[in-house]
Amino acid sequence: MKMEELYEMLQKSSIIALNDIKLYYFKPPSIFFGIMLPLILYFAFTLGRPCVTEAYRLTGVVAVSVFFGASTLEAVVLPMERRTRTFERLVSAPLSLEALLIGKMASGAIFGIALGFVMATILILVGPAWQWTGFSAGLSLSPIPFILTIIISAINSSSLGLLLSVRAGDVADAMMPLNFLRFVMIFLSGVFIPLEETYMFNPSLAPLAYLLPLTYSVDALRQTTFGPIDLWKLLIDLVILIVFSIVLIFTAIELVKHSMR
Amino acid sequence: MDAVQIIDVVKHYGNVLALDHVNLSVKEGEFFGLLGPNGAGKTTLIRILTGLTAPTSGRTLILGYDVLNEPVKAKKQFGLVPEISNVYDDLTAWDNLMFMAKLYGIPEREREERAMKLLEALGLRERVDSPVKQFSKGMRRRLAIAAALIHEPRILFLDEPTSGLDTQSSRFIREVLRELNRKGMTIFLTTHFIEEADQLCKRVAILDKGKICVVDTPENLKASLQEKEALEVIFNSPTSIDEEEFKKHCSGIVRLSENKFRFYVSDSSSILPLLVDFAKNKGLKILSVNTLKPILEDVFIKYTGIDPLMAERMEQLRYKR
């Protein structure tokens, strides 16, 4: 692909993403599944599991905010656009399917990134003052790797949302499999509970965690907020997330192409 | 150069054959109509032409660009107005046009000028800042047309552009389309309103069960039926007619309503005495008898073999002669 074509593709993707931001960020399903649900989960684990450490609460809630926020938007946008046929308007416009779906993915990722940063800021800055978090003592934030981790995790989560929503004709059709997968991932990826504890009674199931991208997001987030950073481990986490994202996006593109045949 | 070329297009949906080796070409500047009953394959063909669906086999070219292999170049050449006006409800008319203009890469100042002109021409200037969700069906359709024209395409595809609209909106849209065609734009529309195609199109194709039955000008198609006259008879009360009784004198009978029938005859004078006898025997009165010249609907019926019930429904839908 020539540079000019790449520039045009990214330009059109950004137009699609900006339109989605304008139209869908404040839709009720985006707010409920993207903002309320991670908060509910946070409080469930804080009140119901007092043994969970503050470090896990912080990284858990940031990971879940990014994960839910980024994956929710596609499950709202794509079925709504299919129902109103505005998705067809975009398909008949002069842009590649790749540019269109990358634009859709980007709007979800930006939603997840924004939520992740808002949650992290609240918990890091305001939390200690309210004394419902106590990580100021153990916090060892590495800003650039932390920002990079949030961005890559959001892209990965949005790609998952894209794949599961790309053929859905209704928001519920997309949300059902997505929520199933999201809850399974939250419980199996060591989000609020360390992996060793999660698989304490059945260690043979532990490899399952490494098949789920959220495990790598959580690990990278934990390294970049509480340290210590193991550079190779962090790099592997991020590379695996990028590979997952590429596979998910290309599978979504193929699914759309297949539906057009 | 041909504006639209459809080369041996076949489309299967599972086991259903939607398009069966369709070949068609439309010249630049032409006003072309694709006629056919519901389910004939009209929308499928327009979806293939606009890159929304891929054909199972065959090729489609838009001003020489292959829709499958050069989709971006092909899509720059046309605008599409689908049957459902797919504009964004939560955006204003203005924002809808701006969004589409950005997608087509139109510079900022130019996009604003074009949008204002289009909204003016389509009678939406007053509602420029209103959210589309407050628009009537006719206004939404006009906005969909404006959105399809924002990049000044050379070809405009319209799928049932006046379907479900009131007479005033339909008339306005027809006038806009005539004007666009006068300025040189190629118009390709699908419709099941036969009179609409007759009024607007320079050439029409009749598509039935996925096959093109005939392509010609409406005048030539009607002329091809000149040997047929039609006699429309209205009785005072509902009745049924045994085709066998009239077999010798007419080539077909279409029941238009319970008491209204159309007889296709070679010589109307020969069947009149029979009709008078028929009415007398059945105790009926003849309320009116009209001789009719062939219209495009007759051509449509001839090629699609549409059943009388369908003809009756179409009769209710179409304008009175």
How many domains does chain B contain in total? 2
How many domains does chain A contain in total? 1
Q: How many CB atoms lie within 10 A of CB B25?
A: 14
* pLDDT at B320 > cutoff 50: no
Q: Which of A89, A100, A261 should be substituted to probe chain B, the one whose Cβ sees the most B Cβ atoms within 10 Å? A: A89
Is residue B320, in this structure, part of any structural domain at all? no
Q: What is the mean pLDDT of residues A97-126?
A: 89
Min distance B53 CA to chain A CA atoms (Å): 5
Which of A12, A23, A88 lies nearest to residue B82, judging by beta carbons?
A: A88
Question: Percentage of chain B surpassing pLDDT 70?
Answer: 93
Structure tokens at A160: 């998952």
- Going by C-alpha positions, the residue among A209, A159, A217 that lies closest to residue A189 is A209
- pLDDT bin (cut points 50, 70, 90) of residue B96 is very high
Across the interface, do B76 and A260 touch by the CB < 8 Å criterion? no
Any CB–CB contact under 8 A between B86 and chain A? yes
Chain A residue with minimum CA distance to B53:
A260
Any CB–CB contact under 8 A between A15 and chain B? yes
The pLDDT value recorded for residue B234 is 93
- Going by C-alpha positions, the residue among A156, A74, A77, A79 that lies closest to residue A113 is A156
CATH of the domain at B111: 3.40.50.300
d(CA B147, CA B156): 11
Is residue B313, in this structure, part of any structural domain at all? no
- Which of A222-236, B16-30, B256-270 shows the lowest per-residue confidence on average (mean pLDDT)? B256-270
Mean predicted lDDT score pLDDT of chain B = 86
Better-predicted residue by pLDDT, B265 or A184: A184
Any CB–CB contact under 8 A between B55 and chain A? no
The pLDDT value recorded for residue B39 is 82
Same domain, B196 and B251: no
- Which of B161, B187, B218 is the C-terminal boundary of a domain? B218
d(CA A159, CA A85): 22
Any CB–CB contact under 8 A between A258 and chain B? no
CATH of the domain at B272: 3.30.70
d(CA B286, CA B234): 6
Instruction: Give the dihedral sign, CA B262/B263/B266/B270.
Output: negative
pLDDT digits (tens, 9 = 90+) for B149-187: 999 999 999 998 888 788 888 888 898 899 999 999 999
Query: Measured between beta carbons, which residues in chain A are less than 8 angstroms from residue B88?
Result: 19, 23, 84, 86
Which of B75, B84, B99 lies nearest to residue A94, judging by beta carbons?
A: B75
Min distance B54 CA to chain A CA atoms (Å): 5
- Which of A224-228, B79-83, B277-281, B294-298 shows the lowest per-residue confidence on average (mean pLDDT)? B294-298
Same domain, B276 and B139: no
The pLDDT value recorded for residue A218 is 92
Is residue B302, in this structure, part of any structural domain at all? no
Same domain, B208 and B62: yes
Same domain, B207 and B251: no
Same domain, B36 and B57: yes
Across the interface, do B51 and A92 touch by the CB < 8 Å criterion? yes
Any CB–CB contact under 8 A between A100 and chain B? no
Better-predicted residue by pLDDT, B38 or B43: B43
pLDDT digits (tens, 9 = 90+) for A137-152: 567 778 899 999 999 9
Min distance A183 CA to chain B CA atoms (Å): 32
Which of B72, B104, B147 lies nearest to residue A96, judging by beta carbons?
A: B72
The pLDDT value recorded for residue B156 is 95
Same domain, B143 and B242: no
Q: What is the mean pLDDT of residues B283-312?
A: 72
Better-predicted residue by pLDDT, A173 or B314: A173
Min distance A92 CA to chain B CA atoms (Å): 6
Is residue B304, in this structure, part of any structural domain at all? no
Across the interface, do A95 and B72 touch by the CB < 8 Å criterion? yes
* pLDDT at A108 > cutoff 90: yes
Any CB–CB contact under 8 A between B90 and chain A? yes
Same domain, B109 and B235: no
Q: What is the mean pLDDT of residues B89-101?
A: 94
Bridge partner list, B9: B22
Chain B residue with minimum CA distance to A11:
B103
Which of A85, A86, A94 lies nearest to residue B72, judging by beta carbons?
A: A94
The pLDDT value recorded for residue B315 is 47
Same domain, B254 and B110: no
Min distance A73 CA to chain B CA atoms (Å): 17
Better-predicted residue by pLDDT, A177 or B247: A177
The pLDDT value recorded for residue B195 is 81
**Residue B239 CB contacts under 8 Å (≥ 6 apart), including other chains:** B258, B259, B282, B284
Across the interface, do B86 and A12 touch by the CB < 8 Å criterion? no
Query: Could you list the residue range(s) of the whole structural domain that residue B233 is in?
Result: 227-293
Cis peptide, bond prior to residue A38, ω within 30 of zero: no
Min distance B58 CA to chain A CA atoms (Å): 13
Is residue B138, in this structure, part of any structural domain at all? yes
Same domain, B125 and B257: no
Which of B54, B75, B102 lies nearest to residue A260, judging by beta carbons?
A: B54
Same domain, B166 and B26: yes
- Asked whether the beta carbons of B69 and B24 are under 8 A apart, the reply is no
Is residue B312, in this structure, part of any structural domain at all? no
Same domain, B212 and B281: no
Helix, strand, coil % (nearest 5) of chain A?
Answer: 80, 0, 20
- Which of B201, B218, B235 is the C-terminal boundary of a domain? B218
Is residue B253, in this structure, part of any structural domain at all? yes
The pLDDT value recorded for residue B245 is 78
Query: Measured between beta carbons, which residues in chain B are less than 8 angstroms from residue A84?
Result: 86, 88-89
* pLDDT at A160 > cutoff 80: yes
* pLDDT at A163 > cutoff 60: yes
- Contacts A–B by Cβ distance under 8 A: 60
Considering B68-82, B162-176, B206-220, B235-249, the range whose residues carry the highest mean pLDDT is B68-82
Strand B203-208 versus strand B31-35 pairing type = parallel
* pLDDT at A245 > cutoff 90: yes
Min distance A12 CA to chain B CA atoms (Å): 6
Same domain, B89 and B153: yes
- Which of A53-57, A112-116, B124-128 shows the lowest per-residue confidence on average (mean pLDDT)? A53-57
Across the interface, do B99 and A19 touch by the CB < 8 Å criterion? yes
Which of A86, A94, A95 lies nearest to residue B86, judging by beta carbons?
A: A86
Better-predicted residue by pLDDT, B260 or B243: B260
Is residue B307, in this structure, part of any structural domain at all? no
The pLDDT value recorded for residue A128 is 59
3-class DSSP state for residue B257?
strand
Across the interface, do A89 and B147 touch by the CB < 8 Å criterion? yes
Across the interface, do B52 and A92 touch by the CB < 8 Å criterion? yes
- Going by C-alpha positions, the residue among B226, B238, B231 that lies closest to residue B275 is B231
Query: Could you list the residue range(s) of the whole structural domain that residue A237 is in?
Result: 3-260
Q: What is the mean pLDDT of residues A124-140?
A: 60
- Which of A61-75, B114-128, B256-270 shows the lowest per-residue confidence on average (mean pLDDT)? B256-270
- pLDDT bin (cut points 50, 70, 90) of residue B319 is very low
Any CB–CB contact under 8 A between B104 and chain A? yes
